[in-house]
Amino acid sequence: MAIRRLFIANRGEIAVRIIQTCRMLGIETVLGVSEADRDGLGAALATRVVRIGPAPATQSYLRIGTMVEAALRTGADAIHPGYGFLSENPAFARACEENGIVFVGPTAAQIAAVGDKLAARRHAEAAGVPVVPGGAVASPGEAEALARRVGFPLLVKAVAGGGGRGMKRVADMASLGAMLDRAMAEAGAAFGDARVYLERFVASGRHVEAQIMGDGARVIHLGERDCSVQRRYQKVIEEAPAPNLSDALRHALLEAALRFARHIGYRGLGTVEFLVDSARDAFYFLEMNARIQVEHPVTEAITGLDLVAAQIAIAEGRGLPVDQRDVAFRGHAIECRVNAESIDRDFQPSPGVARTVWFPSGLDIRVDTHMQSGSRVPPFYDSMIAKIITRGETREAAIARMRHAIDAARIEGIDTNLALHARVLAHPDFQRGGVDTGFLAALLEPGEATRDGAREG
Mean pLDDT of 220-225: 98
pLDDT of residue 232: 87
Residue 91 confidence class, pLDDT cut points 50, 70, 90: very high
Say if residue 325 is exposed, middle or buried (CB neighbours under 10 Å; 0-12, 13-18, 19+): exposed
Confidence class for position 448, pLDDT limits 50, 70, 90:
very low
Asked if residue 125 is part of any domain, the answer here is no
Contact 356, 373 (CB under 8 A): yes
CATH number, domain containing residue 166:
3.30.1490.20
Asked whether residue 274 falls in the same domain as residue 362, the answer is yes
Q: Same domain for 332 and 431? A: yes
pLDDT score of 117 more than 90: no
Q: Report whether pLDDT(450) > 50.
A: no
The CATH number linked to 337 is: 3.30.470.20
CB 6 within 8 A of CB 29: yes
The mean per-residue pLDDT over the stretch 175-200 comes to: 89
Q: Is the pLDDT of residue 30 over 60?
A: yes
- What does the pLDDT look like over 273-330, one tens digit per residue? 999 987 788 999 999 999 999 999 999 999 999 999 999 999 999 999 999 999 999 9
Same domain, yes or no: 291 and 411? yes
Which of the listed residues 173, 200, 227 is the one where a domain comes to its end? 200
pLDDT value, residue 449: 36
Phi-psi category of residue 265: left, alpha or beta, with phi > 0 → left and psi -120 to 50 → alpha: left
Query: 49 and 30 in contact (C-beta within 8 Å)?
Result: yes
141, 99: one domain: no
Domain count, the chain: 3
**Range 436-448 average pLDDT:** 83
Q: How far apart are the first and last CA of the chain?
A: 51
Residues 316 and 282 both lie in one domain = yes
Helix (H, G, I), strand (E, B) or coil at 303: helix
Q: What is the rounded average pLDDT for all residues in the chain?
A: 94
Residue 367's nearest CA partner among 383, 385, 384, 387 is 387
Question: What's the CATH number where 94 sits?
Answer: 3.40.50.20
Domain termination residue (choose one: 177, 200, 223): 200
Judged against a pLDDT cut of 70, whether residue 447 lies above it is answered with no
This prediction has a pTM of 0.92
Report whether the peptide linkage leading into residue 321 is cis, meaning its omega lies within 30 degrees of zero: no
- Whether 42 and 160 map to the same domain: the answer is no
CA angle at 284 for the pair 174 and 396, rounded to the nearest 5°? 110
Question: Cβ neighbours of residue 78 under 8 Å, at least 6 residues apart?
Answer: 3, 5, 6, 7, 101, 102, 103, 104, 312, 315
**What is the structure's pLDDT at 163?**
65
Pair 198, 150: CB distance under 8 Å = yes
Indicate whether 456 pLDDT > 80.
no
In-domain check, residue 113 = no
- Which of residues 87, 104, 121 is at a domain's end? 104
The stretches of 140-213 forming alpha helices (DSSP H) are 140-150, 173-191
- If you average pLDDT over residues 224-248, what whole number do you get? 96
Residues 158 and 274 in one domain: no
Q: How confident is the model at residue 446 (pLDDT cuts 50, 70, 90)?
A: low
126 assigned to some structural domain: no
* Catalytic residue list contains 291: yes
Q: Which residue has the higher pLDDT, 455 or 208?
A: 208
Question: Which pLDDT band holds residue 166 (cuts at 50, 70, 90)?
Answer: confident
Question: What pLDDT shows up at residue 386?
Answer: 98
> Is residue 273 within 8 Å of 256, Cβ to Cβ?
no
Residues 192 and 216 in one domain: no
Q: 75 and 139 in one domain?
A: no
Q: Spell out the alpha helix ranges (H) of 205-303.
A: 247-263, 296-303
Q: Provide the pLDDT for residue 1.
A: 85
- 121, 225, 267, 291: which is the annotated catalytic residue? 291
Say if 235 falls within a structural domain: yes
208 and 242 Cβ atoms separated by less than 8 Å = yes
Please choose, from the candidates 291, 280, 331, the residue with its C-alpha nearest in 3D space to the C-alpha of residue 315: 291
Q: Same domain for 358 and 448?
A: yes
Strand partners, 361: none
Q: Answer whether residue 400 is part of any domain.
A: yes
Q: Determine the structural domain holding residue 51 and report its residue range.
A: 5-104
Regarding whether 96 and 14 lie in a shared domain, the answer is: yes
Three-state DSSP at 448 gives helix
Considering the domain boundaries, does residue 329 fall inside one? Answer: yes
Average pLDDT over residues 441-446: 87
Per-residue pLDDT for 453 more than 50?
no
Judgement on whether residues 357 and 446 belong to the same structural domain of the protein:
yes
Residue 323 belongs to a domain: yes
DSSP 454: P
